[in-house]
Chains A and B, each alone.
Chain A
Amino acid sequence: MAQSDVLLKLKGVKTYFFTDEGTVHAVDGLDFQVRRGETLGIVGESGCGKSVTSMSILRLLGKTGKVIEGEIMFDGENLLDLSEEEMRKIRGNRISMIFQQPTTCLNPVFRIGEQIIEALQIHQGLSGEEGNKRTIELLTLVGLPDPVRRMRSFPHEISGGQAQRVMIAMALACNPELLIADEPTTALDVTIQAQILDLMRELREKVNTAIILITHDLGVVAEMAENVMVMYAGRAVEYAPVHALFEAPKHPYTQGLIASTPVLGNVRDELETIPGQVPSLLNPPAGCRFASRCAHRMDQCTQEEPPLIKLEGDRLVRCWLY
């Protein structure tokens, strides 16, 4: 892997939220990298820190959250060192994002076309006329039927699937090098989800954008990602190429996650479960964070947190079993 090949590299990133109840260790020491054109899937359950990771990259944490440690290197530059002004030039331009709820991300009082043209004018300095033309191109690219007429529609006049197409068009407007998709199909029906995933695959080939795909759905990851990072309670617990991960998950949490998912066409009498629940991130336990729910728990696990251990085949796992 040549160094210049790496587009994004996180090193020891810690993002904490300072609340009235205490400090939430939402992301607690995260390292990973994304190569140009790569699709990295991040999976995990609610509260594992997968969305906070994306918000940390874009520096959209709001008033209570802060990246207190670490580096986020994007194309050789630490995003955490940039001024707000410089950051604004990157957001929506070189790194863009699509969210779970497409309908709440569009401004309800502006026409769809106007919202895309705005991004083009700000970042690429296109005139109204040029912006218009490019918007029609983009809406055609994402397969929105009748784009010329749809440009004049308001967000409430289109369906959820169409709104997600518009969001994707907007995200791709400035040919970003990195696209962060945070649960892009979770709010959509399965037949519409299939359309959107199909579209994302097609676009990936056409524009060669690197994608960070954040999802809780193992099926979506299996279909879309090349490499997968599994997160648990603010930490990466496993990192592997997608085939290797599903063929032989190494971390007990990943194993539990896969075994507890009902799979179409494979009926089992009883689903495997992971007993207990995710620990509070206000006061994360010492040692391995999964220890309290783990069937392989040893004494060592509750005392000392395992490091990410390197296994063959480009895999990493945070577990004392290896």
Chain B
Amino acid sequence: MTVSNSTSEHLLEVRNLKKYFPIKGGLMRRTVAQVKALDGVSFSIKKGETLGLVGESGCGKTTTGRTVLRLIPPSAGEVLFEGQDVLKASAGRMRALRRDMQIVFQDPYASLNPRIPVGHSIAEGLKIHNIGTPRERLDQVAQVLERVGLNSGHMRRFPHEFSGGQRQRIGIARALVMQPKLIVCDEPVSALDVSIQAQVLNLLNDLQKDLGLTYLFIAHNLSVVEHISNRVGVMYLGRMVELASRDQLFSKPMHPYTKALMSAIPLPDPTIKRDRIILEGDVPSPVNPPSGCRFHPRCWLAQDICKHDDPAFEEKEPGHFVACHFAQG
């Protein structure tokens, strides 16, 4: 797998990342099986870029985001942030790195402590890192609240006093106050109504333009990912199956799974009649993934070779990586 070219322009490089969750059972609580949530994923993100990760439930996209930040330890692989290995960093080094790498979660209801005013939640990171005096921290919280479209008076309010969209803005403010370089956005708009979703997507776009942020944007909604990303990776059952620039991927998808995923999305235009690819069956269990290509039991192009040989993740066209024996544009 060759994904990296020149390291210097990349803010983040992920190489062959694996995460197996053990399933314990039996008398001695031995590990009887493993959930292969992530099974060899590689990608890189340039400074100032948004990489979108899409896929259905259980494909490993959230696990990718969390292992990159070392919120959960990976089983194998490398994560390089500005050239330094995040996974091998000492506790002290890790603490410094965490300032630069922040996360925005899906559920703005669950990710804020209901018992403390939101200003305290936002300032907590600053306090932990001993940044500024209490007064300076207050100023920073006020500034960041205004930056995300709220006002400084909101800092004394509690989470239940805000709507879903406002809470997601607070979640973004909490990440932003640390002045990070990378923000992992894990389904940041899936819990929001469309008119509010559009407000938050525009905010994320503006912040990126003004502050030069880099995003790893994880979502199941392809239309949202297409809207916000520069490059997009498609995941299936713990693997990256296709990775390309937004325009390449959406105008010329090569992997059959990507094609099926795109054709499955209902479009808000009743005049469009499409040939829909309807995949049969469900996503197989990641405990016992299919042999060969993991997509072969649901793939309409599958041949014998797909059952035995796991296709390599190769660059079929400049910048367009696909893992399929029969990839075609």
A contacts, CB < 8 Å to B: 45-46, 145, 159, 161-162, 189-195, 197-198, 216-223, 242-243, 246-247, 256-258, 260-265, 267-268, 270-275, 277
Chain B: CB-nearest residue to A256: B195
Contacts of B72 in A (CB 8 A): none
Interface size class of B (residues with CB under 8 A): 35 or more
CB-CB contacts below 8 Å: B214-229 with A: 220, 222-224, 226-227
Interface string of B228-240 (1 = CB under 8 A from A): 0000000000000
Chain A: CB-nearest residue to B195: A274
Contacts of B280 in A (CB 8 A): 195
Contact among B164, B201, B278, B283 for A194, CB-based, below 8 A: B278
> With the chains together, A190 CA to B279 CA distance in Å?
10
Contacts of B282 in A (CB 8 A): 159, 161-162, 192
CB atoms of A272 and B268 under 8 A apart = no
Contact among B250, B264, B271 for A191, CB-based, below 8 A: B264
CB atoms of B226 and A243 under 8 A apart = no
The tally of CB-CB contacts under 8 A between chains A and B is 121
Contacts of B220 in A (CB 8 A): 189-190
Known: A191-B261, A262-B226, A273-B202. A257 touches B195 (CB 8 A): yes
Contacts of B263 in A (CB 8 A): 194
> With the chains together, A192 CA to B205 CA distance in Å?
31
Known: A190-B264, A194-B264, A246-B269. A264 touches B195 (CB 8 A): no
> With the chains together, A270 CA to B271 CA distance in Å?
25
CB A270 to nearest CB in B, in angstroms, measures 6
Complex A-B: 22 CB contacts under 8 Å: A45-B193, A45-B194, A45-B195, A45-B196, A190-B222, A190-B265, A191-B56, A191-B278, A193-B264, A217-B266, A220-B266, A222-B267, A222-B270, A246-B270, A246-B271, A258-B268, A264-B222, A271-B198, A274-B195, A277-B163, A277-B165, A277-B196
CB-CB contacts below 8 Å: B122-173 with A: 163-165
> With the chains together, A272 CA to B165 CA distance in Å?
16
Is B262 part of the binding interface, using a Cβ–Cβ cutoff of 8 Å? yes
Is B76 part of the binding interface, using a Cβ–Cβ cutoff of 8 Å? no
> With the chains together, A19 CA to B265 CA distance in Å?
39
Known: A223-B270, A246-B268. A260 touches B223 (CB 8 A): no
Contact among A218, A256, A260 for B197, CB-based, below 8 A: A260
Q: Is the interface of B mostly helix, strand, loop or mixed?
A: helix
> With the chains together, A187 CA to B193 CA distance in Å?
15
CB atoms of A271 and B227 under 8 A apart = yes
CB atoms of A243 and B270 under 8 A apart = yes
Is B80 part of the binding interface, using a Cβ–Cβ cutoff of 8 Å? no
> With the chains together, A262 CA to B224 CA distance in Å?
6
Contacts of A162 in B (CB 8 A): 282
> With the chains together, A54 CA to B196 CA distance in Å?
25
Is B57 part of the binding interface, using a Cβ–Cβ cutoff of 8 Å? yes
- 20 other A-B residue contacts (CB within 8 Å) besides A219-B266, A258-B268, A267-B227: A145-B281, A189-B56, A191-B264, A191-B278, A194-B266, A216-B193, A219-B265, A221-B268, A222-B267, A223-B266, A242-B270, A246-B271, A256-B195, A257-B195, A260-B194, A264-B250, A265-B226, A270-B205, A273-B195, A273-B198
